[in-house]
Amino acid sequence: MPITKTFINQIEDVVDDALLGLVKCSDEVVFHNKCRRVVLRKDFAAYCRQGNVTLIAGGGAGHEPYPTGYVGRGFLTAAVSGSIFASPPSGHIIMALEATRSTGGCLLFLINYTGDRLNFGLAVEKFKANGGNIRVVTISDDTAIEDSSRIGPRGLAAAVLAIKVNRKQCMISGAMAETRQYSIDQIEDTANKINENSGTIGVSLYPCSIPGQGPMFVLKEQEMEIGLGIHGEPGKMREEIQRAKAIVEKTMSILRDSRKLKLQTGMKIVLMINNLGSTSEIEMNIIKGEVFSWCSSNNIIIERLLVGSYMTSLNGHGISITILKVFDDKILDLLDASTVAPGWKSACLISSNLPSQALPENLSAHDSSKIRMRLKGAQFTVGEKLYCRNVLYTTNYFIAQQELAKLTIISVCNEMCNRKEELNRLDGAAGDGDCGSTFAYAAEGLYLINIIKKSSLAFTHPQVLLEQLAEIYEQDVGGTSGALYALMLSAASEAFSKTTSSSSFVSALQKALTVIQKHGGALPGDKTMVDPLNAAVSNLMQSEDIDWEKAITEAERAAEETSTMTAGAGRASYTSHKVQNCADAGAKAISFWMRAIWNTVSDVTGIQNSI
C-alpha cells in the first residue's frame, strides 16, 4: 500500500515539530522546562499557587487540537502528548501533575482506551503516593459499541465538552478561593454528568494515515464505516456509501436510540459536528444542514452548535456527531465562557425549534427555470415553456427539421455522458478534473427535461432554441464552461434571425468563435477550445463548397494536436509545461459534440455535407 504524502520533516520528529509550532505561535502556552511533550498555560505557576483546581488531559498525538490545543486560560492547565496514537509514558504524565500541583486539587481527564487508562492510572497512583490530591474523569461517549465489553464504550469527542464546561467551574472556584464555592468534588460531579449525558458516533469515507505509512485500513470504493474509533479501529458496521441526508438519518437515529441518550421529543441538546481531519468545509456545511433539519423534524432543540475540528483522527475523511443533553441550563453559560486556548472554536446559539428557513415561493434554488428543479419534479408541468429572453424571430423549422433537432440534442447528450471519464482525465492533467462531469451534468439535465419530461424547448425556432440552451448553461451549469457555452450559444443564435440555411450554421460557428475569443482572450495555438473551433471555421470559410465532414475532421485534428501545445490561456496556462502533455479537455469536447451532431444529421438525412 503506498505511503501517504504529508508535510513533515522527519518521521521521528512529527509530534515534537507539531508541538513546537503550537507553542511558538501562541502567547498563551509554554513547554515544561524538562519535557517538550508537556504543554502548560503560560501562567500555570501563579495559577496553581492561588489554590485553584487544575485541569489536565492527555493522550496520543494525531487528534489535534485535542488535547494540547486546549491549553490556556479558560480551559486546560496542562496537556500531555504521546506519540501518534500512543499514550504518553507515565513519567511525562507525572511531570505535568507535579507542575500543576495545587491545594485545590487536580482533575485529570482521559478518554477510555486501554493504553490511556494504564499509563495515566500508573501516574495517578504515584502522584497520590506523593501526597497529590487528584480525581480522574474517564470519558466514554461512543454509542457504537455500548454493549461491547465490561470496560465500557470508547472515549471520543465529548471529552472536549466535558473539559470546556468544567474549566469554567474551575475559574469560578479560583475567583472565589476564599469562599470555596466550587470544590473539586462538585467539579468532578459535573464532569461525570456530562459523560453520562453525552453520546458520539463517527462515520468515515476514507481511512487516516500515520505519517510515513499508508492508510490504516481499507474501505471499498463505495463503502463507508459507521462507528469507527479515533485511532482507525473498526466501527459498528460497514455499508454502501449513501447520500449525506441518509447518513445523517442513520447516525442521528443511532444516537437518539442509544442507551445513554434515549432522546425524547422536546429535549434540549448541545450538538457538536466534528471534522475527523480532511472533510471539506462544503461537506461540513451539508452535514450541518442535514443535522439541523433532522433535529427540527424530530423536535430536538439545539441550544448550542459547534462545528469544526475538535478531536481529529489525523487526515481521516469523516465526521463524528456528539450530542450532550442539557441536564442543567448552567452548562450553557459555562460552555459560552471565553477562553484563549488556541484550538477552541466557540459554539453558536441556535434555535432548532424554529421553522427551517425556506426559499421564497417565487424563487427557485437558482432564481430561474432550472434543471435541478425539474430533475426533482418540482414546479413542473408537461409542455412548460423554459425561460428565454425576448427575441424577434422570423424563421422556423419544418416538422422534419424539428425532429432532427431533437435527435441531435439526444445524440450530443449521450456522447457527452459517454465521454465523461475521458474528459475528466484530460482535464485533471492540468486543471481541476471536472470538465467531463460538467458536460455530463448538463447533458443529463437536458435529456431528462426535453425528452423524458417533454418540456417545450422551442424546436420550431432555432434562434430561440439556442437562446434557451444558452440560458441553461448560464444559470444551471455555471463555472467557466457554463459561461463560455452560454456566450457561444447566445452569439450563435443571432445567425438564425433571418434564415436557416447551411450558411447560417457556418455563421453560427463563426460568431461563437468570435465571442469566446473576445471574452476568453484565447487565440489559436493557446491549447484551448478555440483551436478546434478555429480549424472548423477556417476550413468552412476557405472552401467554395461547404464540406462539413472535412471541417469536422479538421476540428478533430486540431483538438488532438493540443497535446503538443503549451497552454497560453485558461487555467492550464498557470501550470508547468511538464504536465501539459495531454490534449485539452475543452478542445476535445468541441470535437466530440461536433462529430455527434454531424453523424446524426448524416444518418437521418442520408445527405453528406449538408444541413
Active-site position among 32, 92, 231, 461 = 231
Q: Which long-range contacts (CB under 8 A, 24 or more apart) does 144-152 make?
A: 144/201, 144/202, 144/226, 144/227, 144/228, 144/235, 144/236, 144/254, 145/227, 145/236, 146/258, 146/259, 146/260, 151/112, 151/114, 151/117, 152/112
CA distance 184 to 418: 67
Phi, psi of 166 (to 5 degrees): -80, -15
Q: Which long-range contacts (CB under 8 A, 24 or more apart) does 217-222 make?
A: 218/1
Kindly list the strands in the beta sheet with 317-325, ordered across the sheet, starting from the edge strand earlier in the chain.
237-240, 223-226, 198-206, 317-325, 268-275, 301-308, 348-349
CA distance 83 to 89: 10
Place of cell 485511532: 231
Closest CA to 599 of 401, 460, 465, 407: 407
Q: Specify the amino acid at residue 465.
A: L
Is residue 63 part of the annotated active site? The answer reads no
For every residue of 122-156, DSSP letters joined together read HHHHHHHHTT--EEEEEE--BSTTTTS-TT-PPP-
Length of the chain as a residue count = 611
Buried b (16+ CB within 10 A) or exposed e, 556-566: bebbbbbbebe
CA distance 565 to 561: 7
Q: Specify the amino acid at residue 17.
A: D
Beta-ladder partners of 201 = 321
Task: Give the CA-trace dihedral at 41, 42, 43, 45, to 10 degrees.
Answer: 80
Task: Give the CA-trace dihedral at 271, 137, 65, 206, to 10 degrees.
Answer: -70
CA distance 160 to 139: 10
Place of cell 497512583: 125
Strands (E), 85-242: 106-111, 134-139, 198-206, 223-226, 237-240
Residue 234, preceding peptide bond in cis (omega within 30° of 0): no
124 Cβ contact partners less than 8 Å away, ≥ 6 residues apart: 97, 108, 134, 136
Cβ atoms 417, 448 nearer than 8 A: no
Closest CA to 416 of 292, 287, 265, 597: 597
**What are the residue numbers of the active site?**
231
